[in-house]
Chains A and B, each alone.
Chain A
Amino acid sequence: MIRARALEKRYGDTRILRGVTLDVGSDDFLLVTGPNGSGKTTLLRLCAGLAAPTRGELEVGVERGRLGYLGHEPLVYRELTALENLDLYGRLYRVPDRRERTGMLLERFGLWDVRHARAGSFSRGMLQRLALCRTLLHEPSLLLLDEPYSGLDDEGEQLLDRELTERAGRASFVVATHEPERLEHFASARLALV
């Protein structure tokens, strides 16, 4: 699903990633760890096609529409409601039964009661929940998650644990985190960036 060889990324003179080689197969769960600035986010952006490698080979064998990306930003419009944001993404991703799926995810992540509230009024944790809804909306077969527990409260963490448990083995994951212990039991492979 993902094959990278001697991957390198530079921004100007600054080298962010150096010599990363990895293979992520179908239904694998790759846990990416490393200190701040080690290139975890950059690696995920490269895999998502949001950035291009400076050197090396990278093949991602998944169509854009089958990829779910959760970054540091929730990637939602603050002036739109939770429902409107998911509806927009549902249209762009051509999600079948868009309304039902949107409603189901909002309910599952505890946002149904605030579905008509603008995302700009959400707390950090609620935005992260909405971002998770957006990421999972189109049933991606490859999930690229960057610090997925960031901003979530205990309940949110449990909801995410449940989602990961349900999806592990049915989709491929590349998850960047600096708290690997929480995800250790899901991992089928590990990559430590330095």
Chain B
Amino acid sequence: MTYFADVGALARKDLLLELRARDTLPAMLLFVVSTLVVFHFVLPVGSSDLAATGLLWVALLFTALLGLSRSFAAEREQGVIDGLVLAPSDRSAIWLGKALSILAFLGLAEVIALPAYALFFKPVSAALVGGVVLADLGIAAVGTLLAAMATASRARELLLPLLFLPLAIPIVIGGVGASVSADPGRYLGLLGLYDALFAIICWASFEYVVTE
């Protein structure tokens, strides 16, 4: 139970920081809405719904990337990661706490993004929502680990997309598949499997990312 108390304290801290600094979530919201507006005008009249769905996933992925790039900013700029690493709590709690806060930011961004998508393009199906929820889990799990890796590098702004986008390909395949397929269950299963597999890998390997 102590482990989850640590996770709770770390996630709560991230939410409080965002509430005070407001430097991640507003940017994510603005980005995802403006991207959907641009896509609305980019697609010619009569374009396929499939294209619109693909563009939604592009918008969601890059919004997530924007949030991830800021996720360890406070720890990096103020060197606090050393303080967290020195604490006797299991280091994977840092990963889980951060992943939960990223998940919350993604969820909030999508609460705005999906109605905007419905307004500009087409109604949102239950399978699409299911796909988005499962994709968020994978993005938060993998993205948190990669953001922690990238934050130690001087070329972090470049490194994070280079690491994250290839690993996000299965998420895009699963998400788009769940959104457009007549049999979304298969793709939702793929996303669930991806989430479970990468959550375990990231949970187990985080310690080696934040220590030398």
Contact = CB atoms under 8 A, between A and B. Distances in A.
Contacts of B44: none
Chain B's interface size range is 20 to 34
Interface stretch (B78-86, B113-121, B132-140): B78-86
B88 interface: yes
Nearest to B210: A50
A108 to B, nearest CB: 20
Interface in A83-110: 84, 88-89, 91-94
A52 interface: yes
Nearest to B91: A64
Contact of B212 (A50, A67, A134): A50
A93 B88 contact: yes
B78 A50 contact: no
B13 A94 contact: no
A65 interface: yes
A48 interface: yes
B89 interface: yes
B61 to A, nearest CB: 28
Contact of A94 (B2, B16, B83): B2
Interface in B141-187: none
B17 interface: yes
A91 B6 contact: yes
A78 interface: yes
Interface stretch (A12-20, A30-38, A68-76): A68-76
A52 B212 contact: yes
Given A52-B212, A71-B79, A77 B74 contact: yes
A111 to B, nearest CB: 17
A92 B84 contact: yes
A51 B212 contact: yes
Interface in B62-80: 74, 78-80
A80 interface: yes
B86 A48 contact: yes
A50 B82 CA distance: 7
A79 B6 contact: no
A154 interface: no
Interface residues of A, number: 29
A65 B88 contact: yes
B102 to A, nearest CB: 17
Contact of A73 (B21, B74, B79): B79
B212 A79 contact: no
Interface in B1-38: 2, 5-6, 9-10, 13, 16-17, 20-21
B211 to A, nearest CB: 7
A72 B78 CA distance: 10
A86 to B, nearest CB: 11
B82 A94 contact: no
B87 interface: yes
Contacts of A49: 86, 211
Nearest to B94: A92
B73 to A, nearest CB: 11
Contacts of A52: 211-212
29 contacts: A48-B86, A49-B211, A50-B82, A50-B85, A52-B211, A64-B86, A64-B87, A64-B88, A69-B82, A71-B79, A71-B82, A72-B79, A73-B80, A73-B82, A76-B80, A76-B83, A77-B13, A79-B17, A79-B20, A79-B21, A80-B13, A84-B16, A88-B9, A89-B87, A91-B5, A91-B6, A92-B9, A92-B84, A118-B20
Interface of B: 2, 5-6, 9-10, 13, 16-17, 20-21, 74, 78-80, 82-89, 211-212
Interface of A: 48-52, 63-65, 67, 69, 71-80, 84, 88-89, 91-94, 118, 134
What are the 4 A-B residue pairs with the smallest beta carbon separation, nearest first?
A65-B88, A75-B83, A73-B79, A92-B87
